[in-house]
Amino acid sequence: MLKKFSWRIGALMVAAAALVALVGASIAPAASHKASAGTMRIWTDSDRKAAITKVANAWAAKSGVNVQIVQKEFGDIRSQLGTVKAEDAPDVIIAAHDWTGELAANGLVIPLVPKAAALKAIPAYARKAFTYGKLYGMPVALENVGLFVNTAVAKVPKSWTDLEKRALAFQKKGGGRVGLAVQQGSGGDAYHMYPFFSGLCGYVFGTSNGRLNPKKVGVDNKVFIKNSPLINKWNKEGLISSKINGDTATQLFTSGKAAYWVTGPWNIDTARKAGINFKIVQVPKIKCNAVPFLGVQGLMVTKYASGHSVATAAKDFVANYMSGAGPQATLAAANNRFPANTAAGKRVSDPSLKQIGLASKGGVPMPNIPAMASVWGDLGDAWVKSTKGSGATPAAQAFKTAAKNIRAKIAGG
């Protein structure tokens, strides 16, 4: 089972010691990361090591290429890629899509040109996540939040109005019940709040020539600000409260005191172990489609592959083989994340994983440019200030202030 929020900003580290293993019969000494000439080296984290080893072995057996798997802490894959010695460097890495802009701009990864069949197998919105002018990674898994419905106390909503009505009716029963549990807390949580942001027609960055443009901040766009009085309404009626943090949201839903819960696949087992009967759907359309942020996991080919004489093999493995339904289904089964490949998605047998996958439809990949680091805090804070109950800041004011702060941070570098 993957660690919680494995592809979210701020949750990139996996607690595991760095180990090294050769795929196949022989095992490299633990102190050495060097591979023989012509060996394709893959850096992965502990959660995905077993699954990556399995699919890489299958590809290697057919291609005749030697493969070496090196286990790293997830955050170290990103931070060490630019400082590692060439002889120890990876040719392929497991990556989060929001690394793309930084790694591509620094010349650490190389563009991919998949075959037409590979491109067709992966939805455009997933490929977009690894696009920075050109495609730099092959998506293999999606991660997003959805609306968990406690079917013992509430029905799956047919519309936003229906959701609001049912949630508030449940909440009015008292006894500590809440209609809708979505985590914020004092620090805010722009990730979990994104479906409500997009549902009011908010967006983070606009585009120019197909690329995200950090100068086009959409946090205070005119349509969103026009719709923002709804946030004031939700705050007044107690539908959304920033007083609920992650632990509180979990406790409420697993104790049967929350009718609806906005969370992700990392909590499927949590809800099951609590004995809650639930279904997962996408948050219903508000004014615009209430789509979630997407975290996309993928594989990338590094600049070092050419020096190791495995660039052609590495690009074929990543761009073509790993786009396939078989390898992606293997990863999904091992890691409890929905595959990016649409055919592999149809093979998913776990009903809740399939539902969370369907809830990703139309989702927005978390912006993969460095400027996104200037957004998280202020966007989350705007939600906190406008949904804290008594004394809340009017939403239009809160989000205009957030947008002003974000623009200033981006301009200041």
SS3 300: strand
User: Each residue of 69-118: pLDDT tens digit?
Assistant: 999 999 999 999 999 999 999 999 999 999 999 999 999 999 999 999 99
The DSSP-derived string for 82-102 is TTS-GGG--SEEEEEGGGHHH
Mean pLDDT, rounded, for 208-220: 93
Same domain, 38 and 115: yes
Range of the domain at 155: 146-291+375-411
The type of residue at 59 is: W
Mean pLDDT, rounded, for 236-258: 97
H-helix or E-strand spanning residue 354 = helix 351-358
Number of H helices, E strands in the chain: 18, 16
Torsion angle of C-alpha atoms 352, 123, 147, 242, degrees rounded to 10: 130
Distance of CA 172 to the CA centre of its chain: 34
Hunting for tokens 């983070």 — which residue is that?
Answer: 204
Same domain, 206 and 261: yes
Mean pLDDT, rounded, for 37-59: 92
Same domain, 137 and 171: no
Contact 372, 293 (CB under 8 A): no
Question: Which pTM does this prediction carry?
Answer: 0.85
pLDDT at 57 over 50: yes
pLDDT at 1 over 80: no
Same domain, 199 and 250: yes
Same domain, 212 and 310: no
User: Each residue of 240-249: pLDDT tens digit?
Assistant: 999 999 999 9
Same domain, 186 and 228: yes
Mean pLDDT, rounded, for 388-392: 97
**CATH code of the domain containing 30:** 3.40.190.10
**Cβ contacts of 408 within 8 Å, gap of 6 or more:** none
